[in-house]
A and B are shown apart, each in its own frame.
Chain A
Amino acid sequence: MSLSTRLAVVLTMVGLISAALLVGVNLATRDRIAANKQKEIDEAITKVVPGSRVSEKIYEEKGFTLYAGKDEGEKLLGYAISAATGGFQDQILFIVGTNAELTRLNSLYILDQKETPGLGAKITDRNAFLRFWEGKDIRQRLMLRKPPVGMDELGPTEINTITGATVSSESVLAGVNGALEKTKRLKREGKLPVKE
C-alpha cells in the first residue's frame, strides 16, 4: 500500500469510527436532552402561571410563543409568553406569566442566557432581579430604576437595575415590554381564543 493510500485509509477509518461513536451517543442522549428542554418549559409555565395544570400553545411565531395556562376545568388562569431578546452576549430566552386580564405580571423566568457570569447572569437570580418583576402592573410599560432602591420604594411599574449589568437589565426589560405589548395587541385583534 502506497503512503498516500495509507494516509487516506487511516484518516477515513478514524473519521468513520468517531462518527459511529457519536451516532450512538446521540441516539442514547437525544430523547433525554429534548425531554429536559420540554420539562424546563413546562415547569416554567406552571411557575409563571400559578395553579395552572394544563398549558396550551395558542400562538406561535419566530422568537415568540404564547401559552394559555388553565386549571382542570379549562378555565383560563393566565398567559405564559416565551420570547427571545438580544442580550449583552447572545439571545436571552425568557418566559413571563400574566393574569388572564393581562393587567398584572405574575413572575418572570429566564430559560436560557449567556450573559457575563457573576454580572449579567444575575438576571437569573431571584433575589437580585427576578423578584422585582412579581406582581407588577402591566397596563403601562415597565421601567428600570437606576440606581436600585429598596423593595418598598419601587413603584408599581418599576424594576431595579442590576448594578454593573445595565445592558442585560435593559435587554430583559425591552424583551418583556415587547412581548407584553404583542400579546395585548393579539388580544385586541381578537386573535386569542378568549374563554375567561
Chain B
Amino acid sequence: MAQRTMWRDFAKGLWAENPVSRQLLGMCSTLAITNAVINGLAMGLAVGFVLICSSGLISLIRKLIPSQVRIASYIVIIAAFVTIADRFMAAFFPPLSKALGPYVPLIVVNCIILGRAEAFASKNPLGRSLIDALGMSAGYILALVVLSSIRELLGNGTLLGRKVLGAGFEPWTIMLLPPGAFLTLGLLIGAAYQIERRVRRRRAR
C-alpha cells in the first residue's frame, strides 16, 4: 500500500499531472530555452534541484509558517536555492551558465516550484513531498528534452550538437525562434491529450 502511494506520488508528475503538458506551468522557460537539447537538459536539472530542495525544506517547516506569510516565505526560500544553483553553475559549468543566461535567475518565478510548494509540500510530510518533487522534476525534464530534441533536430539538423540529418537537409530556422517553440509545444500538448483520451476510452470499454 505504502509502496503504491509512493509510486503514484512520483508517477503523476511524469504523465497524468505533467507540469508542462497537463498543468501548463513554467511556460516561460519551457518556450525560451528549448532550442538545444543541452539547454533543455541543464534547465530541467536546475529546476529539479530547486524544486526538490525547496519542497523538502518547505515540507519540513510547514507547521512553523503562519498561512498569512506562507507565500512570502516560500518565495524567499525558492530564491535562495535558485541563487545557489546559479552561482554553482557559474563556478563549475561556466559554458552552460552562459548558454542559459538570464533564465536561471528566472527560475524563481517558475510556477511549478511555487505551485508544488503550495499544492503539495505545505500539506504533506517530508518523504511524500520529496517524491512528489522528484516526479515533477522528472516530468519537466522529460517534456523539455522532448521539446528541445524536436526543435534542435528540425531547426539545426543536430541532436546534442552532433549532426544527425545529412547535408541535404535545409534547417527550418523558424523552429529555433519563438514561433517554433509555440508550434512544437502546442502540437505536443495536443498529442498528449489525444493519447490520454484514447487510453481513457479503451479503459471505459
Contact = CB atoms under 8 A, between A and B. Distances in A.
> Does chain A bind chain B?
yes
Interface of A: 3, 6-7, 10-11, 14-15, 18, 21-22, 25-26, 29, 32-33, 36, 40, 112, 114, 116-119, 164
Interface stretch (B13-21, B66-74, B105-113, B185-193): B66-74
Interface of B: 33, 35-36, 39, 64-66, 68-69, 72-73, 76-77, 79-80, 83-84, 87-88, 90-92, 94, 98-99, 101-102, 155-156, 173, 176-177
Question: How would you classify the secondary structure of chain B's contact residues: helix, strand, loop or mixed?
Answer: helix
B6 to A, nearest CB: 29
Contact of A114 (B83, B102, B173, B177): B102
Residue of B65, B91, B92, B98 with most chain A CB atoms under a 10 A cut-off? B91
A11 B73 contact: yes
Given A29-B87, A29-B91, A119-B177, A3 B77 contact: no
A14 B39 contact: no
Given A112-B98, A118-B35, A32 B66 contact: no
Contacts of B91: 29, 32-33, 36
Contacts of A15: 76
Contacts of A112: 98
Given A11-B69, A118-B35, A118-B156, 20 more contacts: A3-B68, A7-B69, A10-B69, A11-B72, A11-B76, A14-B76, A15-B76, A18-B76, A18-B79, A18-B80, A22-B84, A25-B88, A32-B92, A33-B90, A112-B98, A114-B101, A117-B33, A117-B36, A118-B173, A119-B177
Contacts of A21: 80, 84
A18 to B, nearest CB: 4
Contact of B73 (A6, A10, A117): A10
